[in-house]
Chains A and B, each alone.
Chain A
């Protein structure tokens, strides 16, 4: 069942919250080393999808295979193979940068010299050297996101889920963050990222456009733009979404 050319595969993935269908019959395959962008307006189901892929929410129907593991069968095993940055800053604001990294390294099972070595590696990769003793709560938005990424990378996960990692971050920091993502992907990490910024969507290998819980377009950024006659990705995004809402009303 594990296809080495696929790291994430969803099959009829569906999630309800009472009467709300947050994610409806989602079918996706994502290849290793791919940067996959999940786009869509507020409430379209991006976070819910990612949470199901991380084993944080149980699917109502369907299932997904992530890094060779079925999310329904072994949600705990998945957690060793993925990194996740939640939409809301999820680290400890009353711990310093170094303490946060030390904690997550420990929780991911790194011990002794290998822990110290890995932390040093991540610190230099993300340029956190000069912030080590600062309380996480006092970091600016851009540094918080870097620290979040650092903690999610400790155990070298083959799959990385980033839920709006650059929301509220200044353009220079966003650019830096995205070149880090590109580096990780080049090293073979699969990255699934959500965003509301169209310039970021353009940097993904492929994007999936969600509206009201289901996928309304899928392909490279160019392919998606072609679907509405070669307009910009942003125009395609708006046109396709309006079309979907009209269909829903009809």
Chain B
């Protein structure tokens, strides 16, 4: 391994001089974080809503106010007919409509079931689900109040008290930001190493390099080593921004997190190396890396819970280093848990790193064929 030093030094100097790549690698985390952190809110609030109130009575106004008070509905307009309401939703100017029929107050007074119609634009499942849940909630609260009054009971017979642990405010950034650390590392590190060896091939420097006694292992490790530092800088950037801009807590053992991150970074870089042994040109390397980005975002549990996926896709997800690193990230940062709970994930990451490096070294040829 005595040629690792010179190889590392050379890669480091080249990396430092490649201002564009370096800028992108530091810039991407910042932009991504602001983008995801501000734009992605999985808790949907203030759905634009139109109201068709055919009864125009105090009790109907009261129920509309109840909808508005949930915070999920924002009344944008009152309309006079069903056609007008449908048109609002069809245009997309409203995503929900509340219809209160003429006999609503009468039914309510009589004690027969009074109906309210809530129409939801379900082409966007996330916000329509939130609307449906909120609408059901409004009805339930009202029902309970009416029934308990009728039964002359002062207190409710049953209440569930839900206590959200680890993220009491149910805030999206707490969930998104730790995940983003892993996603950003995966995307940038795989791409940058996938390009690294192919670039030498295209520039003609690989021929001069492999005609020396350098071993494949020295070459590969020397190539990725400087980027371990870049990965750690990226992670620190995201964590600090998350802490001070989005107020995401850093609950657990941060030193442990950095230890695991080191292994994950090596695994990601090794994956890039492996990609570089499969392709011939920088363009192919780029395409192969992008091909790899999507499953990482969709199947790793970064945005969508893996438990909800068919088993087949859960298995594919388990083959991605990111999936395991996300568990570690969220475990340490949000739950404050440690080695006792996360040793399996750590072991798997170590296995990924070792196997991927061994595979890349095996596949790499020190010849031009």
Contact = CB atoms under 8 A, between A and B. Distances in A.
A109 B213 contact: yes
B13 A84 contact: no
Interface string B284-297: 00000000000000
A92 B14 contact: yes
Contacts of B13: 95, 99
Interface stretch (A28-36, A48-56, A126-134, A228-236): A48-56
Contact of B369 (A57, A79, A86): A57
Nearest to B205: A90
A79 B3 CA distance: 14
Interface residues of A, number: 33
A56 B211 contact: yes
B217 to A, nearest CB: 13
Given A55-B211, A56-B210, A80-B213, A75 B366 contact: yes
B207 A90 contact: yes
Given A91-B205, A103-B10, A58 B18 contact: no
A103 B9 contact: yes
Interface string B201-215: 001110111111110
Nearest to B210: A56
Contacts of B9: 102-103, 106
Interface residues of B, number: 26
A107 B214 contact: yes
Contacts of B214: 107
Of the candidates A90, A104, A111, the one having the most CB atoms from chain B within 10 angstroms of its own CB is A90
Interface string B125-169: 000000000000000000000000000000000000000000000
B367 A75 contact: yes
Given A75-B366, A75-B367, A92 B213 contact: no
Contacts of A76: 213, 366
B6 to A, nearest CB: 3
Contacts of B6: 102-103, 105-107
Contacts, number: 78
Contact of B207 (A56, A79, A80): A56
B18 A94 contact: yes
Contacts of B212: 79, 104, 107-108
Interface string A115-140: 00000000000000000000000000
A192 B149 CA distance: 104
A197 interface: no
B219 to A, nearest CB: 9
B71 interface: no
A58 B369 CA distance: 8
Interface string A54-79: 11111000000000000000011001
Nearest to B18: A94
B208 A91 contact: yes
Contacts of A55: 211, 367
Contacts of A57: 367-369
B17 interface: yes
A68 to B, nearest CB: 16
- Sort A-B residue pairs by CB-CB distance and give the 5 closest, nearest first: A106-B6, A90-B208, A88-B204, A84-B211, A103-B10
Given A106-B7, A151-B208, 17 more contacts: A56-B207, A56-B210, A58-B369, A75-B366, A76-B213, A76-B366, A85-B208, A88-B204, A88-B207, A92-B10, A95-B13, A99-B10, A99-B13, A105-B6, A106-B5, A107-B6, A107-B212
19 contacts: A54-B211, A58-B369, A75-B366, A79-B213, A84-B208, A86-B208, A89-B204, A90-B208, A90-B209, A94-B14, A94-B17, A95-B14, A102-B6, A102-B9, A103-B6, A106-B3, A107-B3, A108-B213, A109-B2
